[in-house]
Copies of this chain bind each other. A is one copy, B any other.
Amino acid sequence: MPNFDKVAIIGVGLLGGSIGKALQERELAKEVIGIGRYKGKLSHAQSIGTVTEATTDLAEGVAGANVVVVCTPVETVADQVAQVLEHVGPDCLVTDVGSTKEAIIRDICEKCGPRASQFVGSHPLAGDHNTGPDFSRADLFEKRMVVITPSDQNELEPTVKIAEFWHALGARTILLQADEHDAALAVTSHLPHALATALALTTPQELLGLAATGWADTTRVAAADSTLWRQIFLANREQVLAALDHFNVQLTALRTAIATDDGDKLEELLFEGKKIRDALGN
């Protein structure tokens, strides 16, 4: 079990706050320092127990850290990592929690040269449409999957250490190439978000009284933060567009079966979809 003198978390929201709480509850770190831009928000995050210390000074915050976790929106991750690497020692490892990986890793390699080897990308498949430290919990990562996306710059050792970091928080991990990650998540996460949003946009407010569980479930992720998701869609543009194209093929097949009154084909498609959904469980 890893044991750290100091872990720094940049961006103490739902994910950053949950990492902080988990590190403390599991007694994995002596000091958990939260770093952010706004003193008021940081004080609040500290007061509810997400971190042991807090600062708006990045250089001071990451100095002497064993691990730095960048939990800012995807558009800012690469810049944050570049700054962090200027202020930490050669043994410090840096990771992130961004929902897209290829653009982030490419930017970090460009900005940081050989020091990019200290960064190993992570994406915990946890959290939901609620954001902010008030929703953080120490068990957020328990039994959840974290995708780790080492780059060509990464040696085996830092990759294993970042995996161990997540295991220590209760998560499972899987290693994927960044582009494989982005293609997969375009289907399993970004596409559902686009559909949920488009379905909500299709629904006049006056019909909400007639929305039952099905509408509520299918649109739930549309309640997530619009600014964060704008960045995710644009950072993974090509893969999201490909996923939308694949989706349109399937929706068109359903539509055609309905339009042509082809009940057998329609039931076959519904049943195939049900089998895939059933394979996931609840």
A residues contacting B by CB (< 8 A) are 125-128, 144-145, 147, 174, 184-185, 187-189, 191-205, 207-224, 226-227, 229-230, 233-234, 237, 240-241, 243-244, 246-247, 249-251, 253-255, 258-259, 261, 263, 266-267, 269-274, 276-280, 282
In the A-B complex, the 8 residue pairs with the smallest Cβ-Cβ separation, listed nearest first, are A197-B273, A192-B218, A125-B212, A226-B270, A200-B273, A198-B251, A198-B250, A226-B271
| B218 and A277 contacting across the interface, CB-CB below 8 Å | no
Choose among B196, B227, B243 the residue that contacts A273 (Cβ–Cβ < 8 A): B196
Choose among B199, B230, B269, B273 the residue that contacts A192 (Cβ–Cβ < 8 A): B199
- Min C-beta distance of A189 to chain B, whole Å: 5
| A277 and B222 contacting across the interface, CB-CB below 8 Å | yes
| B126 and A226 contacting across the interface, CB-CB below 8 Å | no
Closest to A224 in B: B274
| B188 and A250 contacting across the interface, CB-CB below 8 Å | no
- Min C-beta distance of A155 to chain B, whole Å: 25
| A145 and B234 contacting across the interface, CB-CB below 8 Å | no
Residues of chain B with a CB closer than 8 A to A200's CB: 272-274, 276-277
Bound together, the chains give a CA A127 to CA B194 distance in angstroms of 26
- Min C-beta distance of A124 to chain B, whole Å: 9
**Extra 15 A-B pairs, beta carbons < 8 Å, given A125-B211, A197-B270, A244-B258:** A127-B213, A144-B212, A185-B210, A189-B215, A191-B202, A195-B195, A197-B250, A197-B273, A198-B247, A200-B272, A200-B277, A223-B278, A230-B267, A237-B259, A244-B251
Closest to A193 in B: B214
| A145 and B243 contacting across the interface, CB-CB below 8 Å | no
- Min C-beta distance of A243 to chain B, whole Å: 7
Residues of chain B with a CB closer than 8 A to A229's CB: 270
Residues of chain B with a CB closer than 8 A to A184's CB: 207, 210
Choose among B220, B250, B259 the residue that contacts A202 (Cβ–Cβ < 8 A): B250
Bound together, the chains give a CA A226 to CA B126 distance in angstroms of 30
| A273 and B198 contacting across the interface, CB-CB below 8 Å | yes
- Min C-beta distance of A224 to chain B, whole Å: 7
- Min C-beta distance of A101 to chain B, whole Å: 12
| B223 and A195 contacting across the interface, CB-CB below 8 Å | no
Residues of chain B with a CB closer than 8 A to A227's CB: 267
Bound together, the chains give a CA A240 to CA B270 distance in angstroms of 15
| A208 and B280 contacting across the interface, CB-CB below 8 Å | yes
- Min C-beta distance of A62 to chain B, whole Å: 29
- CB contact under 8 A between A213 and B271, given known A200-B277, A276-B200, A277-B200: no
- Min C-beta distance of A79 to chain B, whole Å: 17
Bound together, the chains give a CA A201 to CA B279 distance in angstroms of 12
